[in-house]
Each structure stands twice: as C-alpha cells, then as structure tokens.
Amino acid sequence: MYAALATLVYHVRRVYNDGPPTYLEVMGMTTDGVGGSRFAIATMGAVQFEKGDDHASFFNWYFVVLFIGNAFSFMILIMYIEDNLSYGLGFGIWLVSTLIRK
C-alpha cells in the first residue's frame, strides 16, 4: 500500500507542479475524515435496533442512500458548479461540507 501511495504522490506532484504546497495534506486529511466517520456512523445507527434482521436492513438502506447521495452530489451538483460557475466555489462547497461533518 505504501508503494502505491508513494507512486500516487509522485504523479500528483509531477502534474500539479505549481500548485499550493498544502494540497497533499488537505487530500490526506479529507480522506482520513471521510473514511473514519462513514462506517462508524453506520454502526452507531444499527445499534439502535434489537433484532438481527433490522440491523441488516438498516445497513442495506444506509449504504444505498449514502452512495446515491454521494453520486448525486458529486456528478450533478458539484461538477455543474465547477464547470459553469467557479472551480473555487465547487471546492469550497466540498470543504464546508467536510468541516460540517466533523
């Protein structure tokens, strides 16, 4: 995994040669925040049910709604904003939504 990460960092640095120096740290913090909270919230929600069938149903619906919501917000809303309005505004929406989730 570390070899793949090192290769990714190399390619990102090569492509974004003149970008701000903190973009890799921001990507890492975003990845940690999203990856750490998504599955913990699902577990805490399922604990509220008594029967095993309810646990399974909750997990199924939770992930279906989560992935549909992510696909909608990324593909439709954010890409439209970045293409037609401003790339900075689209990135700012991602930043604010990530900060609110924390």
Q: What is the pLDDT of residue 36?
A: 66
Q: What is the pLDDT of residue 4?
A: 66
Whole-prediction pTM: 0.41
Residue 52, both tokens:
């095993």
- Helices 23-46 and 52-71: crossing angle, nearest 10°? 150
In a 13 Å sphere around the CA of 4, the CA atoms on its Cβ side amount to 1
Q: What is the pLDDT of residue 43?
A: 72
| CB distance 27 to 34 below 8 Å | no
pLDDT averaged over consecutive 10-residue blocks of the chain (102 residues)? Answer: 66 66 72 70 74 76 83 76 83 81 63
Distance of alpha carbon 17 from alpha carbon 30, whole angstroms: 21
HEC string of the chain equals CHHHHHHHHHHHHHHCCCCCCCHHHHHHHHHHHHHHHHHHHHHHHHCCCCCHHHHHHHHHHHHHHHHHHHHHHHHHHHHHHHHHCCHHHHHHHHHHHHHHHC
